[in-house]
Amino acid sequence: MNHLSKLGIGIIFIFLFAQQTNAQYTTTKVRTVHEAYTDSLKQVEYNHIFPVWGQGAYRKGFDIPYPAGFMANFMWLDQGIILDNMQLGLKTDNRDIPLTEVDFIGFGENRNTSYTVNVRPDLWIFPFLNVYGIFGYGHSRTEVNINQLGSKPFDLQSIAEQGISTAGIGIMGAAGIGPVWLSVDANWTWNKPELLDEATKVNVVGIRMGHSFVFKNNPDSNIALWVGGMYIKMGSATVGEIRLGDAIPTENMNAKGQELLDFYDELPPLDKLKPKYLIVKAIGEKMVDADGDAIIRYGMDKQVKEKWNGLLGIQYQLNKRWMLRGEAGLIGDRRSYLLSLNYRFMI
C-alpha cells in the first residue's frame, strides 16, 4: 500500500475534532536525512494488539505513536452567549411560583468565562483512529445583562459563578505525508454546573493541519506548528435556580426591585392578572425587601454567540513518551488558551 493509499484510508476514518486534540499522526520521514531512520522502522517487529495494523504501518516506514496515553489539560475560555425564551419562577418559605415565560425581557451582551482541568486517557485503535475519554472539573462565571423591560430600558446585571464537573467521550482521525499532517476530531461532553438541574451537552468539532520539524540528530523529537478551527455547540435548554442575593448585587437590589414594581403598576388592569407579570411583581417585592435568601428559578435557551473560531498551536515532543503543547483561539468572538502535558506508553 503506497503513501497516498494510506492517506486515503486515514481520511476516510477521520471524523471530527475537540478542544484537546491529540497532535499524533502516522508519518513517514520523506527527507533524505531521515532515510536511515525510515529504513529502521521497516525492520521493527511490532507484537502489540494496538494499534491494529501497527505492524503493517511500520513495514511501510510509518512512525506511529505509542498506542496508549494520558493527557492532562488546562483550558481557559471566554465567549459570548445568546439567551432566549426566558422563564422565571420563585421559591420562598411560604410561596412557590412555577416557571413562567417572560417574553418582555430583553438581553444585552452576555458572556461566559470558564476554566477547566481535565484528564484524557486515550487509545489508538488503528494507526489513524484514536478514541478517548474526558474527565474533569472547572469553574464558570456567566454574566447576564438585561437591558429591556417591555418597551422601557432596564439596566440589570446578574452574575452566576459555579463549579462544573465534566465527563465525555471523543474520537479522532489523523493522517500525514512526511512532516505535514491533518487531524480531525470530535467529542461529546456532559457538563454539570452546580446551579443547573441537569447536565448540559456540549459538542466540540474542528480540524487542524500542521507541520512537524524533526530534529536532525533525534528523529523521535520534534516541534509541531498548526492552524485550525474549532466549532462549539451546546445543548440549548437550561433550567436551574440561584439565590437572589447571589444573582444581584445587594447595593442594587432595592432600587432595581422598585423599577420592577413601577413597571408592574403601569400595566393595564387586565395585564396585571397575567402570570408572566405577576412573577415580575413577586420578584420585585423580594428585591425591595432585600430578601437575598429567596430562590429564583430560571429557564432559558442558550447558545454560543459564534460557533466557529480560529486556532494556532505548538507542540514540543521530547520523545515518543512525553509531549508538551500550547494552543490559542484568537480569531473570532471566542478566546481560548490550552496547555497540555501528554504521556504515552506501550500496552
Percentage of residues in the chain having pLDDT higher than 90: 70
What are the residues whose beta carbons fall under 8 Å from the beta carbon of 210, sequence distance 6 or more?
A: 23, 180, 181, 224, 225, 226, 227, 228, 313
Whole-model pTM: value is: 0.83
The pLDDT score that the predictor gives to residue 35 is 63
The pLDDT score that the predictor gives to residue 22 is 45
Q: Quick check: helix, strand or coil at residue 30?
A: coil
The H or E element spanning position 126 is strand 110-126
Amino acid at 287: M
Supply 241's cell numbers: 435556580
Cis bond before residue 51 (omega within 30° of 0): yes
The pLDDT score that the predictor gives to residue 151 is 92
Q: pLDDT tens digits, residue range 137-153?
A: 999 999 999 999 999 99
Contact 83, 107 (CB under 8 A): yes
The pLDDT score that the predictor gives to residue 252 is 85
524533526: which residue's cell?
A: 214
Structural domains of the chain in order of their starting residue, each with its CATH number: 3-255+285-345 (2.40.128)
The pLDDT score that the predictor gives to residue 48 is 81
Q: Which parts of the chain register pLDDT below 50?
A: 1-30
